[in-house]
A and B are shown apart, each in its own frame.
Chain A
Amino acid sequence: MNQTSDIKPHTTAMLVGPAAALMFGVFVLPFLFLLVLSFWSQVPGSLQFDTHFTVLNYARIFGDSYYLGGLWTTLWLSGLVTVICLILAMPLARWIVLRAGPAKGLLIGLSILPLVCGALLPTLGLVNLLSPLGFINGALKSLGLIQSSLPLLGNITGVAIGLVQAFLPLMILPLITTMERLPQDYEKAAMSLGARRLVVWQRIILPLLLPGIVAGSLLVFCASLTAFVTPQVLGQGKVVTFASLAYQQAALVLDWPFASALAIVMLIFLGLAGMLGALVTRKFGKAS
Chain B
Amino acid sequence: MKSRFSDAMTFAVVLAILIFILAPILVLIFSAFDGGNIFRFPPRTYSLRWFEAAFNHPEYRSSLWISTLLGVIATVIAVSLASLAAFGLVRGRPRYRFAVEVLLLAPLTLPLVVWAIALLSIYAELGMNGTLTGLILAHVTITLPFAARIMIATLNEIDPRLEAAAKSLGATPAQVLRRITLPLARPGLLSSSAIAFLVSFNDVVVTTLIAGAGWITFPVRTFSRLRTEGIDPTTIAIGAMIVAFTLLLILVGQRLFQLSRRF
Contact = CB atoms under 8 A, between A and B. Distances in A.
Contact of A105 (B22, B140, B260): B260
Contacts of A113: 21-22, 25, 246-247, 250
B181 to A, nearest CB: 11
A12 B88 contact: yes
Contact of B87 (A15, A27, A92, A114): A15
Interface string B139-170: 01100100010000000000010011001000
A112 B263 contact: yes
Given A19-B148, A124-B239, A129-B41, A118 B203 contact: yes
A23 B143 CA distance: 11
A240 to B, nearest CB: 15
B124 A47 contact: yes
A229 interface: yes
Interface stretch (B47-55, B56-64, B104-112, B182-190): B104-112
Nearest to A104: B260
Contacts of A6: 91, 160, 163-164, 167
A281 to B, nearest CB: 16
A contact patch SS: helix
Contacts, number: 276
B17 to A, nearest CB: 5
A111 B219 contact: no
Contacts of A33: 118, 121-122
Nearest to B85: A19
A4 B161 CA distance: 9
Interface in A9-65: 9, 11-16, 18-20, 22-24, 26-31, 33-34, 37, 47
Majority SS at the chain B contact face: helix
Most chain B CB within 10 A, of A8, A19, A267, is at A19
Contacts of B26: 125
A287 interface: no
Interface residues of B, number: 94
Interface in B85-102: 85, 87-89, 91-94, 100
Interface string A106-119: 11111111101111
A121 B202 contact: yes
A288 interface: no
A163 B251 CA distance: 24
Contacts of A11: 88, 92
A18 B84 contact: yes
B175 interface: no
Contacts of B81: 18-19, 22
Contacts of B103: 20, 23-24, 28
B114 A120 contact: no
Given A26-B119, A110-B250, A128-B31, 8 more contacts: A30-B119, A113-B21, A114-B21, A120-B202, A124-B239, A135-B27, A225-B111, A263-B111
Interface of A: 4-9, 11-16, 18-20, 22-24, 26-31, 33-34, 37, 47, 88, 91-92, 95, 105-114, 116-129, 133-135, 165, 168-169, 173, 191, 218-219, 222-223, 225-229, 232-233, 243, 246-247, 250-251, 256, 259-260, 263, 266-267, 270
